[in-house]
Structure 1
Amino acid sequence: MAEVTMAALVAAVRSGNWLISFPTDTVPALASRCDRGELIYAAKGRQPDKPLILMGANPEQLWRFVKGTAAEFKQWQAIAERYWPGAVTLVLPAAELPVGLNPQNTGTIGLRVPAWPRAQTLLEQTGPLATTSINRSGEPPLTDLKAIVETFPQVLTLQGWELPPTPPQPSTVVQWQEGEWQVLRQGQIVFTP
């Protein structure tokens, strides 16, 4: 893996030919352009029944990937205002998506805006990225640069790698189902609707 400047990382992921990794406010991300999610599945050995998450710099980058009624959007936006940027992933009904994000077309998409300044800077320049934790499928997320380099030598990462001061934990994942929120994974944030 090569450590590269922000400009080089942005150019690489925009090209669609590279996987990148960067720290977030939770565990480090493995990412690709949102229409090249198949690169992530291949690198991780990830099963196609596990959709990827779309990470964006702000909610406005992400809303076009979901569909719902005006009343639902109002509720989703209220939750986004409360928890984003932050360590909560919202799983919402999906609009039409690139196949690589959700190969089995489950009809949903996970969305998140990280609360980590360099991640936000990257996402402002690239637009939404397909993301997941950086690890081989079934193994714990990798959290230090040395382990990431050893496991994923083909992945580009950002120079000046730094993690949040507290030990990283995955995001809390909540899904909108039939007008209610269901907690799918408890992470570092306690979710209350």
Structure 2
Amino acid sequence: MTPADLPTAPLACADLGALLRAGHPAAFPTDTLPALAMAPAWAAELWQIKQRSANKPLILMAAGRDELLAALGMPPPQGWEQLANQGWPGGLTLVLPAKGAVVEALNPGGSSLGLRIPACPMALQLLRCTGPLATTSVNRSGQPACTSPEEIARNFPSLALLAPLPWPMGSGKASTVVGWHQGENGSCWQILRQGNLRINIAEIGRSEQS
């Protein structure tokens, strides 16, 4: 399939960035699976597109650590930087305690926020243009995630896509998710979902502060 065959012509980075900043959804490649994205203020529309309830949080994706940390609304827990050094940029999503407008938009009623920096030059270029984006996989609830722009175009013909095509091929698997768990006996890091990326949490340490 060529760009001319797609229902909606792919847009250059600057044009797609302007569309996203204006509150429209779009899709772009990453090093794992393609991302369905919107500016955080309009994130609720992503659940409508996916036909999914808002009890499954979205991921905040950005080009740099400072932008992600600023969205937390509180200092990150000890050890986050050691983990980030293992998987950013790359297939690691860190779920950290958070509060404020961004977490309410991406995880309504929740107290944590998933953060990621992709290892994909096209994605990073777009994220530098737009700032942080609310993201999720490109699929309807219960269906497999789309892995190519052609598949996205078939299933979501009105969704704007990032040019140029073809997209770089990702791993085809979701990111590894590591979260900060706060329990009665202390707090620690846990692997919540294992993706292609192997993360060593054994040496990160354990906090005895509940």
Q: Is the 8 A contact 2:33 2:170 kept in 1?
A: no
Q: 1:166 Cα deviation (Å)?
A: 5.8
Partners of 1:86 and 1:115 within 8 A in 2: yes
Give how far 1:5 is off.
Answer: 1.0
1:3-46 deviations in Å (ceiling 9; x for gaps): 11111101000111x10100000000000001111111111101
Q: C-alpha offsets along residues 75-113 of structure 1, whole Å, 9 cap, x if unaligned?
A: 21222122100100001111213443112x221110000
Are 1:155 and 2:159 matched, yes or no? yes
Counterpart amino acid of 2:30?
Answer: T
Aligned equivalent of 1:120: 124
Residue matched to 1:5: 12
The aligned counterpart of 2:191 is 183
**Aligned pairs (5 A) from 1:52-71:** 52-69=58-75
1:148-168, CA deviations, whole angstroms, 9 ceiling, x for partnerless residues? 011112211111234444642
**Map of 1:14 onto structure 2:** 21
User: Which letter does structure 2 place at the counterpart of 1:96?
Assistant: G
Q: Distance in 1 between matches of 2:58 and 2:46?
A: 9
The question of whether the paired residues in 1 share the 8 Å contact of 2:30 and 2:170 is answered with no
Higher relative contact order (CA 8 A, sep 6+): 1
Secondary structure at 1:3 match in 2: coil
Q: Give the structure 1 partner of residue 54 of structure 2.
A: 48
Instruction: State the percentage of identical aligned residues.
Output: 41
Task: Say whether the 8 Å CA contact 2:94–2:116 is kept in structure 1.
Answer: yes
SS in 2 for 1:35: helix
| Shift >2 Å, 4+ stretches | 67-70, 97-100, 161-167
The answer as to 2:148 corresponding to 1:144 is yes
User: 5+ residue gaps in structure 1?
Assistant: none
Deviation sequence 1:53-88 (CA, Å, 0-9, x none): 000001111001225557x2x421222122100100
Are 1:38 and 2:18 counterparts?
no
Please tell me the root mean square deviation across aligned C-alpha atoms, in Å: 1.6
Of 129, 139, 143, the residue aligned with 2:133 is: 129
| Partner AA of 1:137 in structure 2 | S
User: How many residues get paired?
Assistant: 189
1:101 maps to what in 2?
106
| In 2, Cα distance between equivalents of 1:77 and 1:162 | 34
